A and B are shown apart, each in its own frame.
Chain A
């Protein structure tokens, strides 16, 4: 889970999809996700997978990064699939495809849309407190990660982290986290004072958000609706 790398791809990506509106991409991802959730046929699930692969190619998402993130749902869905694969290999395969495909739709979204944009759109649904927590989580994650990496590096250099010595690792990691918490607490106090000075009253301003940015947004939404409708309607030729 490398959030910093994911963030870099979504913020600095220059494909036509990256330049499209976040709302359109969220709607597309939700339709594809729903398609995976409600499909009961392998062919239709595969079709949705192909649509996502095409969307990823257009978005110029690094295949290695997307695949790396997919290993996790692939592994856990395989575990569940193994439970029933003897009884019904098709059901087992369907479980793996549905779970991996559904995760892929979210991964595509996060690799093409910056977190900040997703949080801004979520602010239309969620209370401001939750959105503010998400913003502060995002903001402090990178600061703390850098600190954590620096301390981890110095601990490793001094022989404080060993692959096989779990107890030693535990003691040292606990020490790092304790230190980070103290830094974080002081950082949060500073952050609150600075934000209060700037007029923070319990709601971070999101700015004027354009729901639809242009024609390409309509195309993305229509593609999502078409894909969802296509897999939900029982076709008989």
Chain B
């Protein structure tokens, strides 16, 4: 859901290089912290979870241009560290087929990684007393809201600080553009909210299903 579909050459090198640097620092910390035995045991499932993310992204939900990402579900299944590694792998594979630029892998991993960290934290530490459906839905929705906000922030920073794209605002068109911009913003906002609802519902339904059949799969 919160995936930056920006191709290469749009964001300034300062932003995408910083994205890579922060991502590599997080990867280093995760690998350093991970206990070798338990980490090694979970590598096959991490790869499989990443493959599931790729498959879910290739199934359209019908007439609307929305697909699932399952990043939060991966976090619930694997925990935040391995979830982040899975997201990084997915982004590399997606970039190789032209879905998001290769220079954007770092930034994309950070945006979706935020979703992974927050949903995992909320699901495992904060909302533990709620029912499985509402617990999952809230964890996923709140994580998505934060990651979408981060995505918007990156957009604003990128274009506000003069990325690759020159931005000019003319004051004489300002007022008439204001109404137009509000309309566009409302449309975009409703699409995003609908996307968050869809991802939240789908993840909740999936978690409810396997919490009945195989509750041991959910990461403690």
With A37-B103, A95-B9, A144-B55 as given contacts, are A175 and B44 in contact (CB-CB < 8 Å)? Answer: no
| B30-44 interface bits toward A, Cβ cutoff 8 Å, 1 = contact, 0 = none | 010010100111011
Cβ A166 vs Cβ B61 within 8 A: yes
B73 partner residues in chain A, CB cutoff 8 A:
177
Cβ B90 vs Cβ A185 within 8 A: no
Check if B85 is an interface residue, CB within 8 A of chain A.
Answer: yes
Docked Cα-Cα span, A115 to B54, in Å, equals 15
Check if A220 is an interface residue, CB within 8 A of chain B.
Answer: no
Tier of interface size on chain A:
35 or more
The 8 nearest A-B residue pairs measured at CB = A136-B47, A99-B7, A102-B8, A178-B209, A98-B9, A174-B205, A188-B45, A103-B98
A176-235, CB < 8 A from B: 177-182, 184-185, 187-189, 191-192, 195, 200-202
With A3-B93, A106-B98, A175-B205 as given contacts, are A195 and B62 in contact (CB-CB < 8 Å)? Answer: no
Check if A153 is an interface residue, CB within 8 A of chain B.
Answer: no
A140 partner residues in chain B, CB cutoff 8 A:
44, 47-48, 51
Q: What's the minimum C-beta distance from B4 to chain A, rounded to whole angstroms?
A: 10
Q: What's the minimum C-beta distance from B131 to chain A, rounded to whole angstroms?
A: 17
Residues of B contacting A: mostly: helix
Q: What's the minimum C-beta distance from A128 to chain B, rounded to whole angstroms?
A: 10
Cβ B85 vs Cβ A129 within 8 A: yes
Residues of A contacting B: mostly: helix
B98 partner residues in chain A, CB cutoff 8 A:
69-70, 72-73, 103-104, 106-107
A179 partner residues in chain B, CB cutoff 8 A:
209
| A131-166 interface bits toward B, Cβ cutoff 8 Å, 1 = contact, 0 = none | 011111111110011001000100000000011111
Docked Cα-Cα span, A103 to B52, in Å, equals 24
Cβ A137 vs Cβ B7 within 8 A: no
Cβ B97 vs Cβ A181 within 8 A: no
The interface of chain A, by Cβ under 8 A from chain B, is 1-3, 6, 33, 36-37, 69-70, 72-73, 76-77, 80, 83-84, 87-88, 91, 95, 98-100, 102-104, 106-107, 109-110, 115, 118, 127, 129-130, 132-141, 144-145, 148, 152, 162-166, 169-171, 173-175, 177-182, 184-185, 187-189, 191-192, 195, 200-202
Docked Cα-Cα span, A134 to B48, in Å, equals 10
B39-82, CB < 8 A from A: 39-41, 43-52, 54-59, 61-64, 68, 70, 73, 77
Cβ A102 vs Cβ B49 within 8 A: no
Q: What's the minimum C-beta distance from A232 to chain B, rounded to whole angstroms?
A: 14
A144 partner residues in chain B, CB cutoff 8 A:
48, 51-52, 55
Cβ B50 vs Cβ A137 within 8 A: yes
**A-B contacts, 29 listed (Cβ < 8 Å):** A37-B103, A73-B98, A76-B6, A77-B9, A80-B6, A99-B10, A99-B101, A102-B102, A106-B102, A107-B98, A115-B93, A130-B88, A133-B43, A134-B47, A136-B51, A137-B47, A137-B51, A138-B93, A144-B51, A152-B59, A170-B61, A170-B202, A173-B202, A174-B205, A177-B56, A180-B52, A181-B52, A188-B45, A201-B40
The interface of chain B, by Cβ under 8 A from chain A, is 5-10, 13, 27, 31, 34, 36, 39-41, 43-52, 54-59, 61-64, 68, 70, 73, 77, 85-86, 88-90, 92-99, 101-103, 164-168, 198, 201-202, 205-206, 209-210, 213-214, 217
Docked Cα-Cα span, A188 to B45, in Å, equals 5
Cβ B62 vs Cβ A95 within 8 A: no
Docked Cα-Cα span, A100 to B7, in Å, equals 8
Cβ A87 vs Cβ B166 within 8 A: yes
Cβ B54 vs Cβ A141 within 8 A: yes
B95 partner residues in chain A, CB cutoff 8 A:
106
Cβ B88 vs Cβ A165 within 8 A: no
Q: What's the minimum C-beta distance from B40 to chain A, rounded to whole angstroms?
A: 4
Q: Which residue of B lies closest to A148 (CB)?
A: B55
